[in-house]
Structure 1
């Protein structure tokens, strides 16, 4: 487990593609994806930390098997408070063949340790239905119903 850097963009893009293809059950034809991912990486890099899980050795080489990232959100200061930072966990993925070998837990622990080191006030995430119990077992709890989402392209509710 290690923090990813610019040299890992190709591996992270391959994992992102694998994530979608595992869910779709088929290859996804998008020849421009890797370039789009690399551009996104460069844009996000100043505020986002990625971890890469690998198997292998220095001698035989390393194979990426999973990743996770945390985006840092800095609160606006106000009179009497200088704000603070929170982290948003995102894009956690482990290849199916390694999901039951402790890799998801190790990736999440890296993100939680990072949150402590950066002194985040909280660490948030939006789990899928299938991953919610994993995060609850790791100590995450519902934060109420304070998050509202708007799809700006959806037709407004006439009621």
Structure 2
């Protein structure tokens, strides 16, 4: 396991034992960032508790997914979190309550396309995802709505 995976799994196990999540400080200021990808990388780093970790987070526009539910003009942002050969993909969008959310992008079990699979709000959620703790996972509401599914994929209900 990578150090990021180990820390996330430890956080998930601790939350399961104590029923308390690690307290996060307020989110970092987005007004000092030079661009959208930097803002989102800072927020993902904060939510995963990676403030002092040397992981690299890079981003680019995701032309398949929209930033807002039902949106058509503003693409979501795809982020790649990587460290020492290990990497994990995320999609940054807004949910229906206009809150910025990050979804792990993984392979659809039906059509094998990369789609938003699990909403990750903090390191504990990532740990649950890595452990495949299905009782602690809620999935991503964007999973079924993702236009990245193959045509006719039964996950979309086509």
Q: When the two structures are superposed, what TM-score results if normalisation uses the length of structure 1?
A: 0.26
Larger Rg over CA atoms = 1
Between 1 and 2, higher relative CO (CA 8 Å, sep ≥ 6) is seen in 2
The structure with the greater share of residues assigned to helix is 1
TM-score of the superposition, structure 2-length normalised? 0.26
